[in-house]
Amino acid sequence: MTDNPRKKRPIKTAKDITKKSKLAEETLEQSERKYKALIDTTGTGYVILDSNGKVLDANPEYVRLTGHKSLDEIAGRSVVEWTAPHHRGMNIIEVKKCIEKGFVRNLEIDYIDQTCHITPVEINATFLESNEGHHILTIVRDITVRKRAAEALYESQGRFRAIFDNASDGILVADPETKRFYLGNKTICQKLGYSEEEIKNLGIQDIHPEEDLPNIMEQFNKIIRREIELAMDIPMQRKDRSVFYTDVNSFPLIIDGKQYIIGLFRDITERKKAEEILKEKDRELEIKSKNLEETNIALKVLLRRTDEDRAELEAKVLLNVRELVIPYLKKLKISSMDETQRTFVNILESNLLQIISPFSHRMSSNLLNFTPTEIQVADLLRKNKTSKEIGELLNASPRTIAFHRDNIRNKLGLKNKKTNLKSYLLSQQ
């Protein structure tokens, strides 16, 4: 009997999938190393927390802010442990708010180290959901200098001047009535591209894009009325007309008996880049996860088909040998042969049985639907033998062969149908 197994998918398909998957992983690893180097060398603290506020990963600057020397010392611990006692309750509440609202912005709290040294920090956090779980991306900045600058502003203009000029955040003091600037520090002058003298001749309308002025003026008036203190993602326009974005903390200040509004401008370019980097990494991880999932599915399908094809081939070989070869060998053994021929036939039978024995137990029961005689009859029908010829070969009467033919038709579901049995059997090879 001639087998015609299903056409198998070339094995190189699995290799191509694996190669593509490995290339994607190598590209992602290179990208991750680049992003990690960028974050590890910045002067801003970055930490990734789980939904319970426990540290999963952090850069060296964040480790320093906590008063520790290595990531291993803080990994798996809650941020509450190095939060100053008077701010711990607030920190716990803000972690919950971050999960509920999706973010926390400009939270100022104190960190305390093992020597009881306090470091004031500002926290901005974003809640991220991905295939790998729920994480809180937190950006932490040391605001010691800014705090000192703000405190000095309240004390006197002369005492805070050095800190004011060297603060890392830009500082502008504005007249709430004229909306013009009374004073600006070196940082804001450098960011805007103006000299300190030029700043004093400018007003709010001069450092923001024209299309954003209505909204900015509305927020400035709310600050004057003490309705808000924080304005986020404020567009700033440089002297060369280029634009950057800042977060602005504002509060009233009395200088020489007159009230002014002081604004602390923090350039959020670095934070936005870091957030975009982490969002991009999250997207890449999702793509990687999807690709790996698809690869896994493809490999499973390929393996399943290979197993099915192997099982089908084993079953066919087993049936062919046991039912279409062995019976004829047995007939030969009882025929008139000399001793040498009989020995050869016995050896042939023994070797065939050895060949099929490893997988004979895996043969599916549904392939044994036919009796041995029915399998022989069906095979001889495929070989275009008549019932008379089959009877002679099997040493059976035509009536017996007709009986087996009827059983075969019944088992094939051809009873009471006009389908030709031999044609049907040939079509099923």
Give pLDDT tens digits along the chain (429 positions).
445 554 444 545 555 556 555 655 665 566 566 666 667 777 889 999 998 899 999 999 999 999 999 999 999 999 999 999 999 998 899 889 898 989 999 888 999 998 999 999 999 999 988 777 789 999 999 988 877 766 665 555 555 566 777 788 899 999 998 899 988 999 999 999 999 889 988 999 999 999 999 999 998 888 888 888 888 889 999 999 999 999 998 888 887 778 899 999 999 888 878 888 888 888 888 888 888 888 888 888 888 777 767 766 777 777 777 777 878 888 888 888 888 887 888 888 777 777 776 654 444 343 346 777 887 788 788 888 888 888 888 888 888 988 988 888 888 888 888 888 888 877 765
Last residue of a domain, one of 109, 142, 175: 142
3-state secondary structure of 128: strand
Q: Does 417 share its domain with 325?
A: yes
81 falls within a domain: yes
Q: What is the pTM of this model?
A: 0.36
| 238 in the same domain as 355 | no
Domain identity same for 54 and 95: yes
SS3 of residue 57 by DSSP = strand
Residue 250 and residue 159 share a domain: yes
Residues 259 and 162 both lie in one domain = yes
pLDDT for position 419: 83
Last residue of a domain, one of 121, 142, 163: 142
2 part of a folded domain:
no
Do both 340 and 234 map to the same domain?
no
d(CA 375, CA 322): 10
Q: From its phi and psi, is residue 7 left (phi > 0), alpha (psi between -120 and 50) or beta?
A: beta
Q: Which 8-state DSSP code applies to residue 242?
A: -
Q: What is the DSSP letter of 120?
A: E
DSSP code per residue over 173-189: EE-TTT-BEEEE-HHHH
Q: Tell whether 419 is covered by a domain.
A: yes
Q: How far is CA 206 from the centre of its chain?
A: 45
* 208 in a structural domain: yes
CATH number at residue 202: 3.30.450.20
* Residue ranges making up the domain that contains 422: 294-427
pLDDT value of residue 23: 58
Examine the domain organization and report whether 319 and 341 are in the same domain: yes
106 CB neighbour count, 10 Å cutoff: 16
Residue 132 within any structural domain of the chain: yes
Is residue 29 a part of any domain in this protein?
no
Report yes or no on 260 lying in a domain: yes
Same domain, residue pair 82 and 206: no
Query: What is the model's pLDDT at position 416?
Result: 83
Last residue of a domain, one of 118, 142, 166: 142
Q: Tell me if 122 sits within 8 A of 141, measured CB to CB.
A: yes
| Structural domain contains residue 104 | yes
Q: 306 with 261, same domain?
A: no
Which segments of 41-83 does DSSP mark as H helices, in order?
A: 60-65, 71-74
pLDDT of 38:
66
3-state SS assignment for residue 291: helix
409, 300: one domain: yes
Number of domains in the chain: 3
Whether 154 and 238 map to the same domain: the answer is yes
Q: Could you tell me if 226 and 329 lie in one domain?
A: no
